[in-house]
Amino acid sequence: MSEIPILDRLRIQPLIDVAIEEDVGSGDVSSDWTVPAGRTARADLVAKGKGVLAGLPIVSWVFERIDPTIVVEVLAEEGRPVFPGDLIAEVRGPARGLLTGERTALNFLQRLSGVATATSRFVESVEGTGARILDTRKTLPGWRLLDKYSVRVGGGTNHRMGLFDMVLLKENHIEAADGIGPAVFAARRAMTSTRREVKVEVEVTDLTQLEEAIMAGVDWVMLDNMDVSTMAQAVRQVHHHGDPRPWVEASGNVSLRSVREIAETGVDFISVGSLTHSVSALDVSMLFK
């Protein structure tokens, strides 16, 4: 298993605060009006499905924000697989607080674990090929840091975080800038004038565009929606130019059924939007003892 990244609580706390505010609002009337004020309780977080855990620290942060006297004892490990019936954590403290924080804590844990689980399946599918699985910017608005964190927990690799840390010239950029060559030249000129250097990637849809991108001296090429035969030819074309060569990324409607065949063409990276844009949450329940 690769090294688990570290979550920055200072950057996550505002998301926790917003989530609690939208859920609790003026108060949890279900719990506050029915559960005795002094009642304490213990509850187990239990996996109901098979997957990879991500977001365990956030469970503790959510309950701490609800009531600092709540104790969360994590019994599983971030990035490790779980199976139905596995005990993930035990939560102890005021019963009202446990009930109030339950849904928010599970929302974070279930989605993040869902992303990590989906990523791990793609990573396993390309094992031994040398290809790495990339995420995209198709993330839940406001949750990009968390979505990309979960991809790494699942064994994947982060692509650019946003529009600021890499030049990625897609079809519309190329059209608006009058072609691949002029677009790349303009990006390089801007880097010189601003004294700020980032990688330049160009999306190509055929071998002619690929040659233009290589000749323009890009750092990455993205093979967009190519069939595997053309993709393999594109990889050979890139390697024919020798080193240093651009990294080769495959993109477009990648699924678990197709990813292995794509990886075997020799691409360096495969980007998968579904890791974050249509993730299925890992089923986890909180059960009072």
Q: Is 212 among the residues known to form the active site?
A: no
The catalytic residue among 9, 50, 170, 189 is 170
Distance CA 43, CA 285 (A): 10
The catalytic residue among 103, 121, 188, 245 is 103
In the predicted structure, residue 2 carries a pLDDT above the cut 80: no
| pLDDT given at position 1 | 54
The catalytic residue among 86, 147, 203, 268 is 203
| pLDDT given at position 265 | 98
Q: Is 111 among the residues known to form the active site?
A: no
pTM: 0.96
Q: Is 148 among the residues known to form the active site?
A: no
Q: Is 195 among the residues known to form the active site?
A: no
CATH of domain 125-277: 3.20.20.70
Please determine whether the domains at 9-117+279-288 and 125-277 fall in the same fold group of CATH: no
In this prediction, residue 132 has a pLDDT band, given cuts at 50, 70 and 90, of very high
pLDDT tens-digit map of 74-85: 999 999 999 999
Q: Is 170 among the residues known to form the active site?
A: yes
What burial class does residue 207 get, using C-beta atoms within 10 Å of its C-beta: 0-12 exposed, 13-18 middle, 19+ buried?
middle
- Domain range list for the chain: 9-117+279-288, 125-277
**Percent of the residues in the chain that have a pLDDT greater than 70, as a whole number:** 99
The reply to whether CATH 3.40.50.300 applies to domain 9-117+279-288 is no
